[in-house]
Every structure is written in C-alpha cells, then in structure tokens.
Amino acid sequence: MVRHVPNGEGNTPFLQQLYPIFEVTPLVRPRLLLAAATSAGSPVVMGLLYHRGKDAYQSRLRFHTPGRPPVVRRTRWRRFANAAAVDKTTRQVMRRFAELAASVGGSGVLQAEFSADASDDSILQTLLASGIPALFP
C-alpha cells in the first residue's frame, strides 16, 4: 500500500500497483523508474530511490514470469562518495535492467527520471508523462 500519495488522489490505484518499487514519502524520493512490457502481460519494473535521512540509494525490482512466483528484490541502502559515483551506478542500473528485461521477454524500456528536489506534483506529472502507466491495466 502507498504510504503517501503525491498530489493526485485520482492516481492512487496506479501508484499502489507500483509500490514498493516506486515510493514517494517525505523521506524516500524516487530518482529513476524503469519499466518494460512483457509477452506475459506483467511488466518488469525497477526503481532507484533516494532516502533523505540516510543520504543513501536503494534499487528495487519486480517482475513475474508465467508459472513462477513474482520476484521482488531490494538492495541495501547504499551511500555514495560523490555525484559521479551516483551517475555511474544509475547507468549500470539502466544497462542491467535492459538486459534483464530482454531476458524475460521484455521490450521497449520506458523510463522516468526525477530530480532530487522534485516536488510530489512534479514527480507525479513526470511519471504520468513517461508512458509507464500504459503498461498497467
């Protein structure tokens, strides 16, 4: 369940479908959301989140392949020495996601990137404009 709904009560069911991969709270802010459609009908989704209180990042992944239970993975919260290290890790996350999505039959990776100081409303607008909502029934 979504703990904090960004300025858009009408989007609550969609945001709940993204939880826990995508989370917007006063402490946890999304930085990147990746999604790809699959032939199985359930999209592959990965989020990179930033925890303001810990000054740390975490990636979260969810996908489902037919005949198997859904996979949900989280990394530990991790601090980075500088912005270059964050950027390098973000590029690695994007590359690995594309590889994983392709390996489970995913195609057409969609992404939404969010600035560290983005407002809840700005996050919601970027998400809705990304095309990602179309992957969810």
pLDDT at 22: 94
Neighbouring-strand partners of residue 113: 32
Residue 100 lies in a domain: yes
Q: Residues 15-68: pLDDT tens digits?
A: 888 989 999 989 999 999 999 998 777 899 999 999 999 999 999 999 887 778
CA torsion sign for 78, 5, 7, 35 is: positive
Residue 134 lies in a domain: no
Residue 72 lies in a domain: yes
pLDDT at 93: 92
> What mean pLDDT is predicted for residues 104-113?
89
Residue 132 lies in a domain: no
State the pLDDT confidence band at 8, using cuts at 50, 70 and 90. Answer: very low
Contact (Cβ atoms closer than 8 angstroms) between residue 22 and residue 47: yes
State the pLDDT confidence band at 6, using cuts at 50, 70 and 90. Answer: very low
Residue 50 lies in a domain: yes
Within 10 Å of residue 114's Cβ, how many Cβ atoms? Answer: 20
Within 10 Å of residue 97's Cβ, how many Cβ atoms? Answer: 23
Residue 63 lies in a domain: yes
Based on the structure, what is the number of domains in the chain?
Answer: 1
Enumerate residues 6+ apart whose C-beta is below 8 A from 13. Answer: none
Q: Is residue 15 classed exposed, middle or buried when 0-12, 13-18 and 19+ CB atoms within 10 A define those classes? A: buried
The parent domain of residue 68 ranges over 1-7+21-111
pLDDT, averaged across the chain:
87
pLDDT at 10: 54
Residue 90 lies in a domain: yes
pLDDT at 11: 64
